[in-house]
Amino acid sequence: MKKIIFMGTPSYATCILKALVENENFKLVALFTQPDKAVGRKQILTPSDTKAFLSQNYPSIPIFTPSSLKDKNIIREIKDLNPDFIVVAAYGKILPKAILDLAPCVNLHASLLPKYRGASPIQSAILNKDEKSGVCTMLMEEGLDTGAILESLECDIKDKNSSEVFELLANLAAKLILSTLLNFDKITPKKQEESLATLCRKIKKEDGFINLQNARELYQKYLAFTPWPGVFLENGLKFLELELVDELKQNAKMGEILELEKESFLLACKQGVLRIKKLQESGKKALDGRTYLNGKRLKSEDSLC
C-alpha cells in the first residue's frame, strides 16, 4: 500500500482526494491545504473544501495548513511521514526543492500542457474558444508547470462554462491520478515542448468587465467567468444568463433592445446579437430579462444603457 501526502484546496482537488482516500491501494497519511479564510460579510472563518471533506469523513487523517512550505519544521514533518508520493492539485503554494526531493511529486494540471501553464487554465481555454481541453499528470520541478508529462486525458468543452468544465476535469483527474500512480513505474515521462508553452495569470474581479462590441467575445467571457467573477457592464449591471444568437450581424446601435420575448430579450452588440435571460443591478435581486425591462419601462428599439 503506497503512502500518499495530498496537497490541494478547492472542490476540484476534493474530487481527486476522494478517489485516493477511497482506493485500497493507497494510504492517505496527510492533507496539506490553505489556511482557513474569512468569508462573507460576517467574515466567518471557513476551511478549504478539501479540509471540510476530510475532517468530516476521515477525522483521524492529519491536516496541515502551513502559511509557508519553506518552514524547516514543515519539511521535517513531511519527511517523517515518509510518503511514496506527494500528489498536488490546485494547492495554491509553490513547493520548494527541499520538498520536491523527498518523494515523486505528481501534479494534476487542468490543461493539456504545455498549453496554459499557470493559475487559470480552464478560463483561458474557454476565452480562446478552444473546443477541447483536458487534464494531465506531471512530475513537478521548480518551474511553474514545466515538469515532464506522465499521462493525460482530454474532453470536449465547447459551449460549457467554467463551473461545468471544472466538474468535468475534476472527474477526469480523479480517474487519471489512480492510473498514473498505479502504473508509475511503467510510465516514461515525456518532456514538454517549450516552443508550444503558453502562460495564464490569476483571474481578477475586473476581468469580468464587458462592453457590447462583440457578441461572441462577450459570450466566451460569460462562459469563462461563470460563476466568478461573472460579467458586468460599466454601470455594474450583471448578465447572469445569456445565449449567443448571432455572431456576425452588424448593428447600427450598440446596446439596442432588438426584440422582447416572454422572459428574455435580444440585445444588439456592435457585431452580433445576444439573448439576455437573467440580469441583476448592483445591490438588487436578479430578474429575468423581460421583467427587468418592464421595471425600467424599456421597449424594443430603446437602448439598454
Annotated binding site for (6S)-5,6,7,8-tetrahydrofolate: 111-114
Residue 47: C-alpha distances to residues 17, 130, 220, 229, 239 (Å): 16, 34, 32, 21, 30
d(CA 22, CA 81): 20
Q: Which residues are annotated as a binding site?
A: 111-114
Cell of 54: 476530510
d(CA 192, CA 96): 21
Closest CA to 290 of 281, 272, 278, 274: 278
Query: Is the preceding omega at residue 114 within 30 degrees of 0, hence cis?
Result: yes
d(CA 217, CA 247): 9
Helix/strand/coil for 2: strand
Residue 97: C-alpha distances to residues 76, 88, 94, 108, 239 (Å): 13, 15, 10, 18, 45
d(CA 123, CA 201): 10
CB count, 10 Å around CB of 303?
Answer: 12
145: left (phi over 0), alpha (psi -120 to 50) or beta: left
